[in-house]
Amino acid sequence: MKANVIHQFGPPENLKYQDWPDPQPRSGEVRIRVHAATVNRVLDVSLRAGKEMFRKPELPLIPGVDCAGVIDALGPGVSRRKIGDRVAAAGTMPIDICPEDRAGYSGLEGMMGIRRQGGFAELVCVPACATVDVPAGLDFRDASVVMRHVPTAWNLLFNVAKLKQGETVLIMGAGGNLGSVGIQLAKNIAGATVIAAAGSDERCARGRALGADHAVNYNTHNIQDEVLRLTGGKGVNVIYDNIANSKVLPLAFMALGFGGRLVTAGAHGGPNVVINFAHLYHKQITIRGQPGHDSSDLPKCFAAAADGKVKPQIERIMPLSQAAEAHRLTETGEVAGKIVLDPTMDK
Protein backbone atom coordinates (compact mmCIF):
# COMPACT_ATOMS: atom_id res chain seq x y z
CA MET A 1 0.00 0.00 0.00
CA LYS A 2 0.93 3.68 -0.12
CA ALA A 3 1.24 5.60 3.12
CA ASN A 4 2.61 8.82 4.55
CA VAL A 5 5.31 8.00 7.09
CA ILE A 6 7.22 10.11 9.62
CA HIS A 7 10.73 8.73 10.10
CA GLN A 8 11.96 11.78 11.98
CA PHE A 9 10.24 14.85 13.34
CA GLY A 10 10.65 18.13 11.50
CA PRO A 11 9.22 20.17 8.60
CA PRO A 12 6.39 19.03 6.30
CA GLU A 13 8.77 17.34 3.87
CA ASN A 14 9.59 14.85 6.63
CA LEU A 15 6.19 13.34 5.92
CA LYS A 16 7.18 10.79 3.25
CA TYR A 17 4.68 9.32 0.79
CA GLN A 18 6.01 5.82 0.15
CA ASP A 19 5.34 2.12 -0.23
CA TRP A 20 4.60 0.42 3.08
CA PRO A 21 3.67 -3.18 3.94
CA ASP A 22 -0.05 -3.88 3.96
CA PRO A 23 -1.16 -4.18 7.60
CA GLN A 24 -2.84 -7.42 8.67
CA PRO A 25 -5.60 -7.31 11.29
CA ARG A 26 -4.83 -9.06 14.57
CA SER A 27 -7.40 -10.85 16.69
CA GLY A 28 -10.35 -8.56 17.35
CA GLU A 29 -9.29 -6.07 14.66
CA VAL A 30 -10.61 -5.02 11.26
CA ARG A 31 -8.79 -3.47 8.32
CA ILE A 32 -10.25 -0.35 6.74
CA ARG A 33 -9.62 0.66 3.15
CA VAL A 34 -9.39 4.41 3.74
CA HIS A 35 -11.49 6.82 1.69
CA ALA A 36 -10.92 9.93 3.81
CA ALA A 37 -8.80 11.22 6.69
CA THR A 38 -8.68 14.75 8.10
CA VAL A 39 -5.63 16.94 8.66
CA ASN A 40 -5.51 18.30 12.22
CA ARG A 41 -3.45 21.29 13.28
CA VAL A 42 -2.30 19.84 16.61
CA LEU A 43 -2.62 16.06 16.47
CA ASP A 44 -1.10 15.75 12.98
CA VAL A 45 0.78 18.92 12.03
CA SER A 46 2.23 19.91 15.41
CA LEU A 47 2.98 16.24 16.13
CA ARG A 48 4.99 15.87 12.91
CA ALA A 49 6.94 19.00 13.82
CA GLY A 50 8.00 17.35 17.08
CA LYS A 51 6.00 19.64 19.36
CA GLU A 52 3.76 16.97 20.93
CA MET A 53 6.33 14.68 22.51
CA PHE A 54 4.33 14.40 25.74
CA ARG A 55 1.90 12.26 23.73
CA LYS A 56 4.72 9.70 23.32
CA PRO A 57 4.56 9.10 19.55
CA GLU A 58 6.69 6.22 18.31
CA LEU A 59 8.61 6.33 14.99
CA PRO A 60 8.31 5.33 12.25
CA LEU A 61 4.73 6.50 12.36
CA ILE A 62 1.85 6.77 9.92
CA PRO A 63 -0.09 9.77 11.29
CA GLY A 64 -3.79 10.48 10.95
CA VAL A 65 -6.00 10.42 14.02
CA ASP A 66 -9.18 9.59 12.14
CA CYS A 67 -10.41 7.90 9.00
CA ALA A 68 -13.51 6.72 7.19
CA GLY A 69 -13.76 3.93 4.67
CA VAL A 70 -14.79 0.34 3.97
CA ILE A 71 -13.78 -2.78 5.92
CA ASP A 72 -11.84 -5.10 3.59
CA ALA A 73 -10.42 -7.68 6.04
CA LEU A 74 -11.35 -9.20 9.41
CA GLY A 75 -9.03 -10.49 12.10
CA PRO A 76 -9.66 -13.69 14.08
CA GLY A 77 -12.57 -13.47 16.51
CA VAL A 78 -14.45 -10.74 14.65
CA SER A 79 -18.09 -11.63 14.00
CA ARG A 80 -19.93 -8.35 14.58
CA ARG A 81 -18.37 -6.70 11.54
CA LYS A 82 -18.32 -7.88 7.94
CA ILE A 83 -16.33 -7.07 4.84
CA GLY A 84 -17.96 -4.16 3.04
CA ASP A 85 -19.15 -2.34 6.18
CA ARG A 86 -18.91 1.46 5.90
CA VAL A 87 -17.18 2.66 9.07
CA ALA A 88 -15.21 5.45 10.69
CA ALA A 89 -12.66 5.35 13.49
CA ALA A 90 -10.78 7.96 15.48
CA GLY A 91 -9.06 8.84 18.70
CA THR A 92 -8.04 6.77 21.68
CA MET A 93 -8.41 3.01 21.35
CA PRO A 94 -6.77 -0.20 22.60
CA ILE A 95 -3.15 -0.71 21.52
CA ASP A 96 -2.83 -4.34 22.56
CA ILE A 97 -4.96 -7.20 21.24
CA CYS A 98 -8.53 -6.65 22.36
CA PRO A 99 -11.78 -8.64 22.08
CA GLU A 100 -14.15 -7.20 19.50
CA ASP A 101 -16.54 -6.18 22.29
CA ARG A 102 -13.67 -4.89 24.46
CA ALA A 103 -14.88 -7.08 27.32
CA GLY A 104 -12.31 -7.35 30.09
CA TYR A 105 -9.67 -5.28 28.29
CA SER A 106 -7.24 -3.57 30.67
CA GLY A 107 -4.23 -3.08 28.41
CA LEU A 108 -2.59 0.01 26.95
CA GLU A 109 -4.60 2.63 25.10
CA GLY A 110 -3.55 5.42 22.78
CA MET A 111 -4.61 7.49 19.80
CA MET A 112 -4.41 6.11 16.30
CA GLY A 113 -1.87 8.12 14.35
CA ILE A 114 0.15 8.73 17.53
CA ARG A 115 0.51 5.55 19.57
CA ARG A 116 -0.54 3.19 16.76
CA GLN A 117 -0.54 3.55 12.99
CA GLY A 118 -3.05 6.04 11.64
CA GLY A 119 -5.25 7.01 8.73
CA PHE A 120 -2.80 8.69 6.33
CA ALA A 121 -2.59 5.46 4.35
CA GLU A 122 -4.57 3.37 1.93
CA LEU A 123 -5.14 0.75 4.65
CA VAL A 124 -5.27 0.86 8.44
CA CYS A 125 -6.07 -1.75 11.08
CA VAL A 126 -8.06 -0.78 14.17
CA PRO A 127 -9.86 -2.68 16.94
CA ALA A 128 -13.36 -3.63 15.84
CA CYS A 129 -14.68 -2.03 19.03
CA ALA A 130 -13.32 1.36 17.86
CA THR A 131 -15.37 1.47 14.65
CA VAL A 132 -18.71 3.19 14.17
CA ASP A 133 -21.18 2.77 11.32
CA VAL A 134 -21.29 5.45 8.64
CA PRO A 135 -24.87 5.94 7.35
CA ALA A 136 -25.36 5.02 3.70
CA GLY A 137 -26.28 8.57 2.71
CA LEU A 138 -23.21 10.19 4.26
CA ASP A 139 -20.12 10.84 2.14
CA PHE A 140 -16.87 9.40 3.55
CA ARG A 141 -15.21 12.82 3.44
CA ASP A 142 -17.98 14.31 5.55
CA ALA A 143 -17.90 11.23 7.78
CA SER A 144 -14.22 11.73 8.60
CA VAL A 145 -14.91 15.29 9.77
CA VAL A 146 -17.95 14.15 11.72
CA MET A 147 -15.85 11.52 13.48
CA ARG A 148 -13.16 14.06 14.33
CA HIS A 149 -15.23 16.98 15.63
CA VAL A 150 -18.93 16.29 16.14
CA PRO A 151 -18.63 13.84 19.09
CA THR A 152 -16.38 16.28 20.96
CA ALA A 153 -18.78 19.16 20.39
CA TRP A 154 -21.78 16.98 21.30
CA ASN A 155 -20.09 15.93 24.54
CA LEU A 156 -19.23 19.52 25.49
CA LEU A 157 -22.64 20.97 24.78
CA PHE A 158 -24.97 18.22 25.95
CA ASN A 159 -23.11 16.03 28.46
CA VAL A 160 -20.93 18.66 30.10
CA ALA A 161 -22.73 22.01 29.67
CA LYS A 162 -26.18 20.32 29.57
CA LEU A 163 -27.42 22.93 27.11
CA LYS A 164 -31.22 23.01 26.90
CA GLN A 165 -33.86 24.42 24.60
CA GLY A 166 -34.49 28.08 25.32
CA GLU A 167 -31.02 28.74 26.71
CA THR A 168 -28.45 31.01 25.07
CA VAL A 169 -24.96 29.86 24.14
CA LEU A 170 -21.94 31.89 23.06
CA ILE A 171 -19.81 29.96 20.57
CA MET A 172 -16.23 31.21 20.60
CA GLY A 173 -14.02 30.64 17.56
CA ALA A 174 -17.15 30.28 15.45
CA GLY A 175 -15.16 30.16 12.21
CA GLY A 176 -13.17 27.09 13.26
CA ASN A 177 -14.05 23.44 12.97
CA LEU A 178 -15.29 22.83 16.52
CA GLY A 179 -16.99 26.23 16.49
CA SER A 180 -18.89 25.59 13.26
CA VAL A 181 -20.08 22.23 14.57
CA GLY A 182 -21.04 23.79 17.91
CA ILE A 183 -23.25 26.36 16.21
CA GLN A 184 -25.16 23.70 14.29
CA LEU A 185 -25.62 21.35 17.24
CA ALA A 186 -26.73 24.14 19.57
CA LYS A 187 -29.25 25.45 17.05
CA ASN A 188 -30.49 22.33 15.27
CA ILE A 189 -30.38 19.77 18.09
CA ALA A 190 -30.78 21.79 21.31
CA GLY A 191 -32.97 24.57 19.93
CA ALA A 192 -30.87 27.15 21.76
CA THR A 193 -30.31 30.79 20.90
CA VAL A 194 -26.82 30.99 19.42
CA ILE A 195 -24.38 33.91 19.48
CA ALA A 196 -21.35 33.28 17.27
CA ALA A 197 -18.09 35.06 18.10
CA ALA A 198 -15.26 35.32 15.60
CA GLY A 199 -12.37 37.59 14.69
CA SER A 200 -13.55 38.81 11.29
CA ASP A 201 -16.75 39.88 9.54
CA GLU A 202 -16.28 37.00 7.08
CA ARG A 203 -16.22 34.41 9.86
CA CYS A 204 -19.18 36.07 11.55
CA ALA A 205 -21.12 35.79 8.29
CA ARG A 206 -20.16 32.12 8.12
CA GLY A 207 -21.54 31.63 11.63
CA ARG A 208 -24.84 33.23 10.67
CA ALA A 209 -25.03 31.06 7.56
CA LEU A 210 -24.69 27.99 9.77
CA GLY A 211 -27.66 29.08 11.88
CA ALA A 212 -26.37 31.49 14.53
CA ASP A 213 -28.99 34.01 15.62
CA HIS A 214 -26.37 36.71 16.21
CA ALA A 215 -22.69 37.17 15.51
CA VAL A 216 -20.06 39.39 17.14
CA ASN A 217 -16.73 40.37 15.63
CA TYR A 218 -14.62 40.59 18.77
CA ASN A 219 -11.88 42.51 16.96
CA THR A 220 -14.19 45.42 16.19
CA HIS A 221 -16.64 45.23 19.11
CA ASN A 222 -16.43 44.73 22.86
CA ILE A 223 -17.77 41.19 23.19
CA GLN A 224 -18.93 41.69 26.79
CA ASP A 225 -20.99 44.75 25.89
CA GLU A 226 -22.44 43.17 22.76
CA VAL A 227 -23.45 39.91 24.40
CA LEU A 228 -25.06 41.69 27.35
CA ARG A 229 -26.93 43.93 24.91
CA LEU A 230 -28.14 40.93 22.91
CA THR A 231 -29.33 39.14 26.07
CA GLY A 232 -31.01 42.14 27.68
CA GLY A 233 -28.33 42.28 30.37
CA LYS A 234 -28.90 38.70 31.56
CA GLY A 235 -25.84 37.17 29.96
CA VAL A 236 -25.55 33.76 28.33
CA ASN A 237 -26.14 30.40 29.92
CA VAL A 238 -23.18 28.68 28.26
CA ILE A 239 -19.84 29.65 26.75
CA TYR A 240 -18.36 27.04 24.42
CA ASP A 241 -14.66 27.63 23.75
CA ASN A 242 -11.53 25.78 22.74
CA ILE A 243 -9.32 28.75 21.91
CA ALA A 244 -8.53 30.44 25.25
CA ASN A 245 -7.85 33.79 23.60
CA SER A 246 -6.27 35.74 26.45
CA LYS A 247 -7.63 39.09 25.21
CA VAL A 248 -11.17 38.03 24.35
CA LEU A 249 -12.16 35.25 26.75
CA PRO A 250 -11.87 37.39 29.92
CA LEU A 251 -14.47 39.79 28.45
CA ALA A 252 -16.68 36.95 27.23
CA PHE A 253 -16.52 35.40 30.69
CA MET A 254 -18.07 38.56 32.14
CA ALA A 255 -21.06 37.99 29.85
CA LEU A 256 -21.91 34.68 31.55
CA GLY A 257 -25.14 34.93 33.49
CA PHE A 258 -26.18 33.40 36.81
CA GLY A 259 -25.46 29.66 36.97
CA GLY A 260 -23.53 29.92 33.72
CA ARG A 261 -21.27 27.18 32.40
CA LEU A 262 -18.01 27.57 30.49
CA VAL A 263 -16.85 24.43 28.69
CA THR A 264 -13.71 23.84 26.65
CA ALA A 265 -11.92 21.08 24.78
CA GLY A 266 -8.63 22.89 24.38
CA ALA A 267 -6.60 26.06 24.65
CA HIS A 268 -5.05 26.58 21.22
CA GLY A 269 -4.69 30.33 21.70
CA GLY A 270 -3.77 30.21 25.42
CA PRO A 271 -3.13 28.54 27.71
CA ASN A 272 -3.22 31.30 30.34
CA VAL A 273 -6.36 33.43 30.69
CA VAL A 274 -7.17 35.86 33.51
CA ILE A 275 -10.76 35.70 34.78
CA ASN A 276 -12.70 37.72 37.31
CA PHE A 277 -13.17 35.49 40.36
CA ALA A 278 -15.73 37.82 41.88
CA HIS A 279 -17.93 37.21 38.83
CA LEU A 280 -17.25 33.47 39.11
CA TYR A 281 -18.30 33.51 42.75
CA HIS A 282 -21.34 35.78 42.63
CA LYS A 283 -22.78 34.26 39.45
CA GLN A 284 -22.08 30.69 40.64
CA ILE A 285 -20.33 29.79 37.40
CA THR A 286 -18.96 26.35 36.53
CA ILE A 287 -15.85 25.89 34.36
CA ARG A 288 -15.07 22.46 32.93
CA GLY A 289 -12.53 21.15 30.47
CA GLN A 290 -13.48 17.90 28.78
CA PRO A 291 -11.66 16.24 25.88
CA GLY A 292 -12.96 13.26 23.98
CA HIS A 293 -16.49 11.95 23.78
CA ASP A 294 -18.95 9.36 25.03
CA SER A 295 -19.05 6.42 22.62
CA SER A 296 -22.80 6.08 23.12
CA ASP A 297 -23.23 9.45 21.41
CA LEU A 298 -21.54 8.41 18.15
CA PRO A 299 -24.66 7.03 16.42
CA LYS A 300 -26.52 10.23 17.32
CA CYS A 301 -23.72 12.35 15.85
CA PHE A 302 -23.72 10.47 12.56
CA ALA A 303 -27.51 10.49 12.42
CA ALA A 304 -27.49 14.28 12.85
CA ALA A 305 -25.08 14.58 9.93
CA ALA A 306 -27.05 12.16 7.76
CA ASP A 307 -30.22 14.16 8.49
CA GLY A 308 -28.55 17.41 7.44
CA LYS A 309 -28.60 18.92 10.92
CA VAL A 310 -24.79 19.10 10.91
CA LYS A 311 -22.92 19.88 7.71
CA PRO A 312 -19.13 19.42 8.05
CA GLN A 313 -17.19 22.42 6.79
CA ILE A 314 -14.47 21.21 4.41
CA GLU A 315 -12.26 23.82 2.76
CA ARG A 316 -10.13 21.56 0.58
CA ILE A 317 -9.94 17.91 -0.48
CA MET A 318 -6.51 16.65 -1.51
CA PRO A 319 -5.04 13.31 -2.62
CA LEU A 320 -3.29 11.22 0.01
CA SER A 321 -0.05 11.74 -1.93
CA GLN A 322 -0.20 15.47 -1.12
CA ALA A 323 -0.29 15.07 2.66
CA ALA A 324 2.98 16.98 3.10
CA GLU A 325 1.56 19.93 1.16
CA ALA A 326 -1.63 19.72 3.23
CA HIS A 327 0.54 19.96 6.34
CA ARG A 328 2.36 22.98 4.93
CA LEU A 329 -0.91 24.76 4.09
CA THR A 330 -2.26 24.10 7.57
CA GLU A 331 0.97 25.09 9.32
CA THR A 332 1.34 28.39 7.46
CA GLY A 333 -2.32 29.29 7.73
CA GLU A 334 -2.82 29.47 3.97
CA VAL A 335 -5.85 27.22 4.48
CA ALA A 336 -7.78 28.00 7.65
CA GLY A 337 -10.51 25.38 7.26
CA LYS A 338 -10.51 21.62 7.32
CA ILE A 339 -8.43 19.69 4.77
CA VAL A 340 -9.44 16.11 4.00
CA LEU A 341 -7.09 13.60 2.36
CA ASP A 342 -8.66 11.11 -0.05
CA PRO A 343 -6.54 8.10 -1.11
CA THR A 344 -8.97 7.26 -3.92
CA MET A 345 -7.89 10.44 -5.74
CA ASP A 346 -4.46 8.88 -6.34
CA LYS A 347 -5.89 6.05 -8.42
- CATH code for the domain in which residue 81 is found: 3.90.180.10
- pLDDT score, position 295: 85
Asked if residue 30 is part of any domain, the answer here is: yes
CATH number at residue 234: 3.40.50.720
Residue 268 has pLDDT above 90, yes or no: no
Same domain, 7 and 118: yes
Burial classification of residue 72, based on how many CB atoms lie within 10 Å of its CB (0-12 exposed, 13-18 middle, 19 or more buried): middle
At 326 the three-state DSSP class reads helix
Q: Which is more confident, 59 or 265? A: 59
Return d(Cα 222, Cα 164) in angstroms, integer: 27
How far apart CA 81 and CA 72 sit, in angstroms, is: 10
pLDDT digit string, tens, across residues 3-43: 999 999 999 999 999 999 999 999 999 999 999 999 999 99
Higher pLDDT, 211 or 91: 211
Q: 266 or 133: which carries more pLDDT confidence?
A: 133
Co-location of 190 and 222 in the same domain = yes
Are 107 and 203 contained in the same domain? Answer: no
- For residues 155 and 278, state if they share a domain: yes
> Looking at the structure, do residues 269 and 318 belong to the same domain, yes or no?
no
293: pLDDT confidence band, cut at 50, 70 and 90? Answer: confident
Reported confidence tier of residue 253, pLDDT bands at 50, 70, 90:
very high
Residue 282 forms part of a structural domain? yes
H or E segment and range at residue 256: strand 256-264
pLDDT for residue 226 is more than 90: yes
Residue-range definition of the domain harbouring residue 102: 2-133+313-346
Per-residue pLDDT at 62: 98
Domain boundary, last residue among 289, 322, 338: 289
201 and 116, same domain (yes or no): no
The CA-atom distances, in angstroms, between 1 and each of 17, 18, 49, 63, 312 are 10, 8, 24, 15, 28
Same domain, 51 and 7: yes
Q: To the nearest whole number, what is the mean pLDDT of the chain?
A: 96
Q: Which of 255, 273, 289 is the last residue before a domain boundary?
A: 289
Q: Is residue 140 part of a domain?
A: no
3-state helix, strand, coil in the chain (%, to 5): 30, 30, 40
As a whole number of angstroms, the distance between CA 274 and CA 272 comes to: 7
- Residue at 88 is within a domain: yes
Ramachandran assignment for 84, one of left (phi > 0), alpha (psi -120 to 50 degrees), beta (any other): left
Cα 342 versus chain centre, distance:
18
**Overall number of domains in the chain:** 2
Residues 297 and 159: beta-carbon distance below 8 Å: yes
What is the model's pLDDT at position 117? Answer: 97
Q: CA end-to-end span of the chain, whole Å?
A: 12
Check pLDDT > 90 for residue 291. Answer: no
**What are the pLDDT digits (tens) for 114-141?**
999 999 999 999 999 999 999 998 999 9
**Is there a domain that residue 27 lies in?**
yes
Share of the chain above pLDDT 90, in %: 91
